[in-house]
Amino acid sequence: MRKKSPILVIIISFVVCAIVAFTYMALTGPLPSEYYIFQNIEECENLIPTDMDDESFERYDMPMNDKDLDSLSYNNFFGGSFKSDSLQYEIFAYEFEDYDSALKYYANVVGQNFNSLKELERDSFFLASQGTSYQLVVILQNKAYKLNAPNKYIDEINELLANTFSQKIN
């Protein structure tokens, strides 16, 4: 019996990993190129489905499960978890007291330094990332939201937000 060459094993392993990575990327699709946010937090109410036969939305009274909020004060909150056969996500949305609070929230979510973000002198930030799940965080002035969903729903989430929120981020 012949021993397999270590180089051949490495090449086969690399090819298998490349195929798995390519398949994963093809199934999850690219990240969105457009991002949206609410002009006022009442727009988030439109995320609650009116026909709840095969859908469920658990509305949160308080943002207790949002570890990124830390001890930041906010004026208004909307949060909840949506589940159906064709979509699933969790959202935490806030109207903060001021821009600095929204920026601190963004820094908490993305793990960046607040001061370095503040130096950029922008009124909006957004970040979409996918790993084991899809995460989207968007801020504009004193408004912010974070949305988490399985990767397979990226396109559906982007379409939902484009149809629900009235403010496009440039």
Per-residue model confidence (pLDDT) at position 6:
74
DSSP assignment of 69-115 equals GTT--EEEEEEEEEEESS-EEEEEEEEESSHHHHHHHHHHHHT--HH
Task: Point out which residues pair with 144 in neighbouring strands.
Answer: 94, 139
Per-residue model confidence (pLDDT) at position 4:
64
Give the separation between CA 88 and CA 82, rounded to whole angstroms: 5
At residue 23 the predicted structure's pLDDT band, cuts being 50, 70 and 90, is very low
Which residue, among 92, 93, 117, 91, has the nearest Cα to 104 in the 3D structure?
A: 117
Per-residue model confidence (pLDDT) at position 27:
45
- Give the three-state DSSP class for 42: helix
Structure confidence by residue, pLDDT tens digits, 30-75: 566 789 999 999 999 999 888 777 889 999 999 999 999 999 999 9
Residue 94 near residue 144 (C-beta atoms within 8 A): yes
Per-residue model confidence (pLDDT) at position 98:
97
Tell whether pTM > 0.85: no
